Amino acid sequence: MAKPEHNARDQSHPRIVRYAELEPCYDAFIDTRTPGSDQKENFTIIGPGVSENPSQYVHIAEPHGFNIGGARQPPNCVNSQHSHLTAEVFYIHKGSWAFRLGEEGNGAEVILRPGDLISIPTNVFRGFENIGEDVGFLWGILGGDDPGRVLWAPYVFEMAKDYGLVLLENGNLVDTAKGETIPAGQKPMPVTSQAQVEAMDNLTERQLRDCCITAFETVDQFTRGGLVMRKLIGPDTKLNWDHGFSINHLKLSAGTSADQTSYTGHEVVFVQSGELKVKMQDETWALSPGDTGSIPPGVNRQFINISDQNVEFLRVRGGI
């Protein structure tokens, strides 16, 4: 007996994370009590991410070779200066965002808007702020199944002292304002040293802009019928350094579809606009703006535009 077609819009699905169903963490990092940073919502969509709060909710725990997360922030909300051990890519879903480099955030700066993408190299202090007038949302990709820990600029530790958050050497937070104490045998994370700061790379504004692709850049573009595909990250692309994953941006005009095909590794899609239908052998997904879907390896699937307007989405593939 054939399996019924499953419309994931009607009920929860273990491989779909709806924007409206995202589970936020409000104290995921050491800076989340600091005025100006205390209204951040952090999300771990696929994989453990780099959250310092052990209670952070993980929507899809299955290893993909990369992590997917998100940040939702109201206007003027800041994510403090930090660095990562693996690739960090942000795609702007909502809002206008300023990305600032340097220990104090006074280095190179770039302003990005919906549909823009940035890949910030490792060993670089970076922070970001929603400078728009409405709540903004960033969809983020981190390299590797274990992206390691965040390295914070020294001032972040100093600010955290006033708000009861202590970061431990094992990467977890202790909230002394809630009566928590440092467990026996654990020690606070040492404040980032001057030697570590001096070892960070400093990019020029031109170099930072070369790490970005705007929504209107026709980079590595392929067009056929109602399909337009841009290669954003991967071999022989503008952002061609090692990420451990590739990213393509696809646009389907109304009533069109992409070829039916499969991929041997993990494939994740994120809808920017329009209504996307993902048709597989045993089920069909209907994805809306802000939704994330993880397609199982090796499964034949087809992308179809089921709306009367263009549908735009990202496709992330691991192992590349």
Q: Which CATH number fits domain 221-318: 3.10.28.10, 3.30.300.30, 2.60.120.10, 1.10.10.60?
A: 2.60.120.10
Are the beta carbons of 26 and 52 closer than 8 angstroms?
Answer: no
Q: pLDDT at position 282, please?
A: 87
Query: How crowded is the C-beta side of 182, counted as CA atoms within 13 Å?
Result: 13
Q: CATH for 17-213?
A: 2.60.120.10
Q: pLDDT at position 7, please?
A: 39
Are the beta carbons of 147 and 49 closer than 8 angstroms?
Answer: yes
Q: pLDDT at position 319, please?
A: 85
As a whole number of angstroms, the distance between CA 190 and CA 171 comes to 11
Return the HEC string of the chain.
CCCCCCEHHHCCCCCEECHHHCCCECCCCCCCCCCCCCCCEEEEEECCCCCCCCCCCEEECCCCCEEEEEEEECCCCEEEEEECCCCEEEEEEECCEEEEECCCCCCCEEEECCCCEEEECCCCCEEEEECCCCCEEEEEEEECCCCCCCEECHHHHHHHHHHCEEEECCCCEEEHHHCCCCCCCCCECCCCCHHHHHCCCCCCHHHHHCCEECCCCCCCEEEECCEEEEEEECCCCCECCCCCEEEEEEEECCCCECCCECCCCCEEEEEEECCEEEEECCCEEEECCCCEEEECCCCCEEEEECCCCCEEEEEEEECC
Q: pLDDT at position 1, please?
A: 30
Q: pLDDT at position 220, please?
A: 85
As a whole number of angstroms, the distance between CA 312 and CA 234 comes to 19
Domain residue extents for the chain: 17-213, 221-318
Give the residues of the chain that fall short of pLDDT 70: 1-11
The predicted-structure confidence for 43-71, as pLDDT tens digits, reads as follows: 999 999 999 999 999 999 999 999 999 99
Q: pLDDT at position 193, please?
A: 97
Q: pLDDT at position 265, please?
A: 95
Query: 17-213 with 221-318: one CATH topology?
Result: yes
Q: Which two tokens stand for residue 312?
A: 């735009």
Q: pLDDT at position 4, please?
A: 34
